[in-house]
Structure 1
Amino acid sequence: MSAVATSTAAGSIAARIERLPNSRWHAKVRTVIGAVTFFEAFDQLLTASTLPVLSRQWHLSTGQGTTIITSSSVGMLLGAVAAGWLGDRIGRVRTVALGVLVTALASIAVAVSPGYALFLAFRFVQGLGIGGVVPVAATYINEIARADRRGRFVLMYELIFPAGLAVATLVASWVVPAYGWRLLFVIGALPALLVASLQRQVPESPRWLLSRGRAEDAERVLAAIEREVEQSTGDTLPAPAADTAADDARGGLRDLFTGRYLRRTVVVSALWFVAYYVNHGISSWLPSLYTKTFGLSLHTALDYTLLSNVTGLLGCLAVALLVDRLGRRLALTAGLGGAAVALFVLALSGAGSGGQVAVLASLTTLFVYATNVSLYLYTPELYPTRSRALGSAFGGVWNRLGIIVGPIVVGAVLDGGGSLATVFTELGCVAVVGAVIALFAVETKGRTLEQLNS
């Protein structure tokens, strides 16, 4: 197909997607992808919930605890790189299905690990799957959403991720004290049951199919989607708009660092790093801080951690409802700025009790979780279809670096005799830097993916 024909076809495909009203088809696809994402989130924080028990059972030092926390994060980093490349070459749906299978099988292996070394190894492998699924799934959801309501559509789907984190903590607070940590990872293997349904119920992205030169497949898939939408709504679809621009057809890693994409990549990478540095600098250590520093029971520690995840979920809901009005730039700036204020208040208060830390840490997560989900919406918007999954995954690399470095720095401060006030001050300063960087973000609200990249 010639470049002109490809551009014309891309414009047609985009215009037809833009005219689709929300329907049962959208609900079905978002539910299936959402179920997968839920379990990926569930699996992500299991180590933090089990670390207090593992530390006692295997007599772990603070350094070994840090290694356990970061082992899956290193796997997520590498998994994000591989999945970004695969997602732009073999398809969004196949890549997500592969990542889910890896996550589930590795979770079983973690559950039967006899000791520290094999636990680390299998948790690393599990991280490969988790890191691969999340950015590619977000890319897919972006590609089936309409521009005028893409923010709410994507972020209402993304709510499932903090919900998974909250449920993981809730389940852990019941399962770990009563049945031990291994059952938690057995539960984490349940997404294996979703692989067949995912590939059967979720069609490949028409935008991706066309970007790979598969115009007939894109037409066939989109026509089937249109029929299902018409059947579910009972109405004939309106004519597609004639002025939907097509994005450029360039693809590959080089795209992320040339022309206007260089600024986008630098800004969004920094935001990913800062947001997850702050997030995991707090969340990975909270259960252990509650038990070791304040002498609370494991059950109370996990309940306090659950409170932080619930407020984080509320923050995600708030930004989902407001982001199409506020815009991406303001949402990101306010999210990191609010987190910084909460952290500074926590530092100035002296962090004198577990309850005080729980309340102010929960206020922090309200803002930082809202920032995190906004980045899953924002990043895929910044790149053309042929390199969109790779661009999202590259953001995921900086996400994982933040996840790795944040807990390491916090662990080093605590291991070196630093106070909690020092920890929270340092995290607050990092959040301030992120809020300033967010001011330079390109605004994307209300524009189609093609208009943003043509």
Structure 2
Amino acid sequence: MTIDAARDTPGRQDDGDNDDDSAALAATIGARFERLPLCRWQVMVRLVVGAVTFFEAFDQLLIAYALPELRDEWHLGTTQVTALMTVGSVGMLVGALVSGRLADRIGRVKVIAGCIALSGVCNLALTLCTSPEPFMALRFVQGMAIGGEVPIAATFIAEITRAHQRGRFVLLYELVFPAGLTAGALLAAWLVPLLGWRWMFGLAAVPGLLCFALARWVPESPRWLADHGRHAEALATMASIERKVERITGAPLPEPAPARPTPAPSGKSGSGGLRELLTGRYGRRTLVVGSLWFTGYFANYGITSWLPTIYKDHFDLGLSTALLYSTVTSCAGLAGCLLVALTVDRVGRRNTVIWCMAAAALCLLVLGLTAGDSAGGVLAWTSLAAVFLFGSNICLYLYTPELFPTRIRALGSSVGGAMNRLGVILGPIVVGAIYAGGAIGTVFVTLAVVAVAGSLSAAAWAEETSGRTLEDMAP
């Protein structure tokens, strides 16, 4: 039976053992996605998955606003406070690594739904904690859910989007994560003094119900279904998507371009996973994007985590002023994210990362050589650096899934997420060690060197993916 005939018989069962059939079907599904106009269906899916990512970002930040009350209520020392702050990030590192392998095995939507459900249950359980030990255990598990959801959601959005203007579509979705962080800060700042930290975590448990919305409105990736030999399901899901798009647009879809299947690697079932990810062409890509994730977030969090302290201790600013200055820098970073989202399809992924990292390095170098002569100068140069660093980093959520084939796409994205977490953890530690010696100029020069390393890595080894289908870029 041909692939076209199988489309009309969605109940047909395939044994999934024929890699050539899977490759042909993947190419056909890719061609059918390319003919779908952007309409309400893609926007609806982006909103549902985006809501999940929004609330995962919301959950990530809540601990910072609960800590002052927790410290007094449980009489915590500095070591315990540090543990409560960092255990979630460690969980996110583990979750990023685990979720990719899981999503490549059982499906994207199941993992995303499971992560939001698990995060919601953890929030509910956190309200019942009466001591730091169970609280830390739950925060570790919740960190795994948050770290697992974000890269898999980016993978899924990439797989349902056509090549034309994929960058703009995906990155406008990715803006929901920093938006969730901002919303979490605003709500927590109002709610914790009014009702206490338990109510904050209790309300944050409600979005866990979004797992049911995912099951109801978001289909599994047809590309993933095809790659796993579930040919009938892949065709039926693709046909259902096409019918919905036709109903929304009120016009028949154009004929898909001729599919050009790329033969799967020999022994594909045995070459997937970490072995394939770390060898050959994909091994080099893993090394490149890993270095970009690490250097980008090392520099990013090295700046943002210490700015309030630098303003307060080095320049003797009041706490409210120090926090205001730091917020301005974060807002500048959000503007950089939006700018990249609107221009990345025209400029290209590779060029965006190269020039954004280089520009950030230049800003940090100028600041380092002037040794931060004034708080205003630090504000101006760090805000400009944040525009470029935030812009480069958000581009990686788009770029990474494009570099890997369906069978290891989620795993490749999760490795990027793990290197992200590693940079987030180590950046502030290194900056803190340098700043402890009073060498504020050295802090910014060090971060400039890290940003330069990221820019040079992209210039030397990164490949351009703009305007190319996923199957063409990563067979």
Q: Aligned runs of 1:57-206 on 2, under 5 Å?
A: 58=75, 60-61=77-78, 66-110=82-126, 113-114=129-130, 116-176=132-192, 183-206=199-222
1:113 offset after TM fit, Å? 4.5
- Give me the TM-score of the superposition, normalised by structure 1: 0.91
Q: Aligned runs of 1:20-419 on 2, under 5 Å?
A: 20-48=36-64, 58=75, 60-61=77-78, 66-110=82-126, 113-114=129-130, 116-176=132-192, 183-246=199-262, 248=264, 250=268, 251-290=272-311, 299-351=320-372, 356-414=377-435, 416-419=436-439
1:395–1:248 distance in 2 versus 1, CA, 3 Å: farther
| Structure 2 residue corresponding to 1:434, chosen from 435, 440, 454 | 454
1:211 offset after TM fit, Å? 0.7
Whether the 8 Å contact between 1:247 and 1:385 is mirrored in structure 2 is: no
Deviation by residue 1:233-281 (Cα, 9 ceiling, x = unmatched): 1110000100444473632221112221111111011111111111222
Distance across 2 between alignment mates of 1:22 and 1:240: 15
1:452–1:32 distance in 2 versus 1, CA, 3 Å: same
Deviates more, 1:363-372 or 1:77-86: 363-372
1:106 offset after TM fit, Å? 2.3
1:377 offset after TM fit, Å? 0.5
SS where residue 89 of structure 1 aligns? Answer: helix
SS where residue 189 of structure 1 aligns? Answer: helix
Report the residue type matching 1:417 in the other structure. G
Whether the 8 Å contact between 2:337 and 2:390 is mirrored in structure 1 is: yes
Distance across 1 between alignment mates of 2:383 and 2:260: 43
Distance across 1 between alignment mates of 2:128 and 2:380: 36
Deviation by residue 1:365-417 (Cα, 9 ceiling, x = unmatched): 22111111111111111111011101111111111111111122223334x43
Q: Does 1:420 align with 2:436?
A: no
Whether the 8 Å contact between 1:274 and 1:402 is mirrored in structure 2 is: yes
| Structure 1 residue corresponding to 2:470, chosen from 446, 449, 453 | 449
Report the residue type matching 2:117 in the other structure. L
**Identity level (%):** 51
Distance across 1 between alignment mates of 2:140 and 2:96: 13
- The aligned residue for residue 9 of structure 2 is none
Deviation by residue 1:119-162 (Cα, 9 ceiling, x = unmatched): 43332222101110000000000001111221111111111122
Whether the 8 Å contact between 1:162 and 1:312 is mirrored in structure 2 is: no
Report the residue type matching 2:165 in the other structure. R
Q: Which has the larger radius of gyration?
A: 2
Report the residue type matching 1:404 in the other structure. I
1:3 offset after TM fit, Å? 2.6
Distance across 2 between alignment mates of 1:339 and 1:288: 21
Report the residue type matching 1:83 in the other structure. S
Distance across 1 between alignment mates of 2:166 and 2:234: 21
1:68 offset after TM fit, Å? 3.9
Unpaired stretches in structure 2, ≥5 consecutive residues: 1-15
Unpaired stretches in structure 1, ≥5 consecutive residues: none
1:187–1:427 distance in 2 versus 1, CA, 3 Å: farther
Whether the 8 Å contact between 2:222 and 2:237 is mirrored in structure 1 is: yes
Q: Matched residue pairs, number?
A: 452
1:38 offset after TM fit, Å? 1.0
Distance across 1 between alignment mates of 2:308 and 2:71: 12
1:359–1:123 distance in 2 versus 1, CA, 3 Å: farther
Distance across 2 between alignment mates of 1:403 and 1:340: 18
Distance across 2 between alignment mates of 1:120 and 1:13: 44
Deviation by residue 1:50-96 (Cα, 9 ceiling, x = unmatched): 667767875654x6655444321110111011110110111100100
Deviates more, 1:291-300 or 1:236-245: 291-300
1:291 offset after TM fit, Å? 5.2
- Give me the TM-score of the superposition, normalised by structure 2: 0.87
Whether the 8 Å contact between 2:315 and 2:374 is mirrored in structure 1 is: yes
SS where residue 243 of structure 2 aligns? Answer: helix
Distance across 2 between alignment mates of 1:429 and 1:187: 42
Report the residue type matching 2:437 in the other structure. G
Whether the 8 Å contact between 2:364 and 2:382 is mirrored in structure 1 is: yes
- The aligned residue for residue 8 of structure 2 is none
Deviates more, 1:363-372 or 1:264-273: 363-372
1:295 offset after TM fit, Å? 5.7
Distance across 2 between alignment mates of 1:116 and 1:411: 25
Report the residue type matching 2:217 in the other structure. Q
Report the residue type matching 1:366 in the other structure. V
1:363–1:107 distance in 2 versus 1, CA, 3 Å: farther
Report the residue type matching 1:141 in the other structure. I
